[in-house]
Structure 1
């Protein structure tokens, strides 16, 4: 009555419909979970230098150096729908040229099954803390936030910021010694 291709098509369409329904159930089962966790960040050492930018303008810009401590336990974020976490430490500050500056200083990927209780001491930044002007020297309101993206098996990719933050200030003088 029906050809092999018709029966194969019906079987594949039904299987894909069932898989789509299961994927949606997977998404719904974890979409309303709380993705917050406490994170303590402290700065240990903070320096600022005025260095030349060897780009087009050859002006001197501020380059910040800092070491930080990070302590957090992200074990509660892992459930059966989470493949990995992408963590990143962001610095936010204001300058006279920009109302909001955001710089990613450090990041880490934590896979399911890895240790998600972090306790780092005297960590250096992974990326340069570069300001496109002279907005770091004597800046009294630089705030560090730890944020993360949850990479699920199915569903939304939530971006969550820790409710804890750390505010620090840069020195009023440029450092002259090698860092």
Structure 2
């Protein structure tokens, strides 16, 4: 699944007289245009994902403060009668979700996280790359699936399962965005490798 529509590109354009070749400058202009479009698309997708991640983080912080309330923040408008008890150890499970949210933010934009920490008075060495401290996808998914699995084992309602599955969904969404961005960058590199010397150039 890809969140964005990619633009198919060819260096040669078909005309009635056959394929039209682009000179070096035209090739560079086309690649630069596609590079800018790709960068803009990546920025928009990541920004949107950061907003979703921030909202999810706020909801989990609210629940972390008062996990004894069975009205989960996302389901606050639903009748209490439709909700059952939460799972055991809700605060530790919520803390794990918050850790995973921080991990996802590091994957999306480690620079912003670094700037936030510096502004908060936490000194970081310039050589430290925060992305190197992120969890592996396998471990992240394993931790994210624990709470939903407990819900299913205890036969909680689908609303309870839905709440504890938010972290899984957000993790998957971030993965899709990052994969789409990496694929777009790879397309640009492929186009650069396809550059040719036009006859007579």
More helix by share: 2
Fold similarity call, TM over 0.5: no
Q: Name the TM tier (shorter chain).
A: under 0.3
Q: TM-score, normalising length from structure 2?
A: 0.23
Q: TM-score, normalising length from structure 1?
A: 0.26
